[in-house]
């Protein structure tokens, strides 16, 4: 849990760091309050808090977000990216700083602390956005924002922690090999692993057909849950810890599945229609030719999430630690009830289980046809 006293002490200390500080040197009466945990997961925990202080007789206050990270970096990540800074907090901070500077819609980020000494983990601090719930044109805006990102001249961004893949096939090969290695390093139920192996073999057979003509900056986890509609009706993109230089088709394929699964509960059949609409709108606006590589990256994006989800479901305590009691109950029941049609509805009320089932159905109907 984030402790207000430790954070206050840190902010007072860094008030002497000039441009790397949230506080003016002359600030006093520094206080951190209203700490709330917003989310937590395997790689990071996110908190909101209120910072107040006095500067030259005037009281100032800021609503802020602190995102704390674990130091865990997958072995496969260090193997396949030996020339990059693989620390997620550094990558996210540098990307946010750069994108904000050129006017791309991201939260304003203030500082990045790499030393775990102060709070027990590395962290970044950014502004908390004022958010509205919905917008009529959110899906169109979602597509156009991604197209805008991919149309940026990545060579001119100069994000120090990122590197270009060595050739047009390197990104596709790296993604396929990472999935294969991660699958072999994690535990899965036999039937699920068989489906994953089939899909990875399909990727191996098709990787030579997926040369990327032009790499760009990609988010790598682009989906509606990683965007905010602010009260000035702007869509802002958050959670950039997986940012990289890669194939734009990956972002499109990844988002495609998430849109299908995050459909309107009042209209459950809207998912596929919305996903196709997203792809259509993206292709209208973007200068990237992703169509011929999209099926490949639909599989890559789907497996990347499903293998992680499956590893949690095969270890119910991990599901509980990350997602709570509901996920724990369904993870326990999954191996016994997944083949029972009446039980599937209950199982699929949990997003993790429904995503895994969706992945298996996709492999069966799309790759094995």
Residues 113 and 164 in one domain: no
CA separation for the pair 283, 201 (Å, rounded): 29
Residues 185 and 44 in one domain: no
Find the helix or strand (DSSP H, E) in which 4 lies.
helix 4-13
User: With 60 as the cut, is the pLDDT of residue 154 above it?
Assistant: yes
pLDDT tens figures, 250-305: 999 999 999 988 765 555 567 889 999 999 999 999 977 899 999 999 999 999 99
Residue 282 located in a structural domain = yes
pLDDT tens figures, 198-226: 999 999 999 999 999 999 999 999 999 89
Domain hosting residue 272, numbered range: 138-367
Query: How do beta strands 227-229 and 235-237 pair?
Result: antiparallel
Cβ distance 363 to 257 under 8 Å? no
Residue 73 binned pLDDT confidence (cut-offs 50, 70, 90) = low
Residue 137 binned pLDDT confidence (cut-offs 50, 70, 90) = low
pLDDT reported for residue 330: 75
Residues 46 and 157 in one domain: no
Query: Which pair of structure tokens corresponds to residue 176?
Result: 């396929």
Total number of domains constituting the chain: 2
Residues 241 and 358 in one domain: yes
Task: Residue 112: give its domain's CATH number.
Answer: 3.30.200
Residues 361 and 218 in one domain: yes
Residue 258 located in a structural domain = yes
Residue 267 located in a structural domain = yes
DSSP line for 123-137: EEEEEPPPB-S--TT
Identify the DSSP state of 87. Answer: -
Cβ distance 300 to 250 under 8 Å? yes
**Chain position carrying tokens 């990289």:** 244
Per-residue pLDDT averaged across 313-323, rounded? 77
CA separation for the pair 120, 41 (Å, rounded): 16
User: With 50 as the cut, is the pLDDT of residue 227 above it?
Assistant: yes
Residue 297 located in a structural domain = yes
Cβ distance 172 to 207 under 8 Å? yes
Q: Which residues 6+ apart lie within 8 Å of 266 measured at CB?
A: none
Residue 23 located in a structural domain = yes
SS (H, E, C) 187-222: CCCHHHHHHHHHHHHHHHHHHHHCCCCCCEEECCCC
Residues 120 and 150 in one domain: no
358: helix, strand or coil: helix
Identify the DSSP state of 230. Answer: B
Query: Which pair of structure tokens corresponds to residue 60?
Result: 């100032």
CA separation for the pair 247, 221 (Å, rounded): 13
Residue 44 binned pLDDT confidence (cut-offs 50, 70, 90) = confident
DSSP line for 171-185: HHHHHHHHHHHHHHH
- Whole-structure pTM value: 0.91
Residues 113 and 221 in one domain: no
Residue 132 located in a structural domain = no
pLDDT tens figures, 257-266: 999 887 655 5
């Amino acid at each position: 849990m984030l402790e207000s006293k430790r954070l206050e002490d840190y902010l007072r200390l860094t008030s002497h760091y000039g441009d790397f500080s949230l506080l003016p040197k002359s600030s006093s009466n520094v206080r951190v309050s209203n700490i709330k945990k917003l989310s937590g997961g395997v790689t990071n925990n996110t908190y909101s808090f209120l910072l107040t202080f006095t500067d030259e007789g005037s009281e100032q206050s800021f609503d802020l977000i602190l995102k704390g990270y674990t130091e865990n970096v997958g072995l496969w990540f260090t193997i396949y990216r030996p020339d990059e800074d693989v620390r997620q907090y550094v990558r996210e901070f540098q990307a946010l700083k750069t994108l904000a500077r050129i006017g791309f819609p991201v939260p304003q980020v203030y500082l990045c602390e790499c030393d775990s000494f102060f709070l027990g983990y590395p962290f970044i601090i950014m502004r908390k956005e004022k958010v509205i719930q919905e917008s009529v044109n959110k899906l169109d805006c979602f597509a156009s924002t991604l197209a805008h990102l991919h149309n940026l001249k990545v060579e001119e961004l100069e994000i120090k922690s990122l590197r270009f893949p060595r050739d047009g096939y390197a990104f596709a090969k790296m993604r396929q090999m990472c999935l294969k290695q991660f699958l072999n390093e994690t535990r899965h139920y036999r039937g699920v692993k068989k489906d994953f192996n089939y899909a990875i073999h399909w990727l191996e057979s098709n990787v030579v057909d997926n040369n990327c003509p032009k790499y760009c900056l990609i988010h790598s986890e682009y989906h509606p849950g990683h965007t905010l509609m602010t009260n000035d009706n702007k869509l802002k993109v958050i959670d950039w810890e997986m940012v990289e230089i890669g194939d734009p088709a990956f972002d499109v394929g990844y988002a495609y599945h998430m849109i299908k699964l995050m459909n309107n509960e009042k209209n459950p059949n809207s998912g596929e229609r919305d996903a196709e609409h997203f792809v259509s709108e993206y292709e209208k606006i973007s200068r990237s030719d992703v169509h011929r590589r999209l099926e490949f990256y639909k599989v890559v994006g789907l497996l990347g999430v499903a293998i992680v989800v499956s590893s949690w479901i095969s270890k119910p305590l991990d599901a509980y630690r990350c997602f709570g009691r509901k996920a724990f109950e369904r993870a326990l029941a999954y191996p016994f009830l997944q083949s029972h049609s009446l039980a599937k509805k209950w199982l699929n009320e949990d997003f993790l289980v429904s995503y895994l089932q969706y992945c298996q159905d996709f492999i069966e109907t799309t790759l094995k046809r």
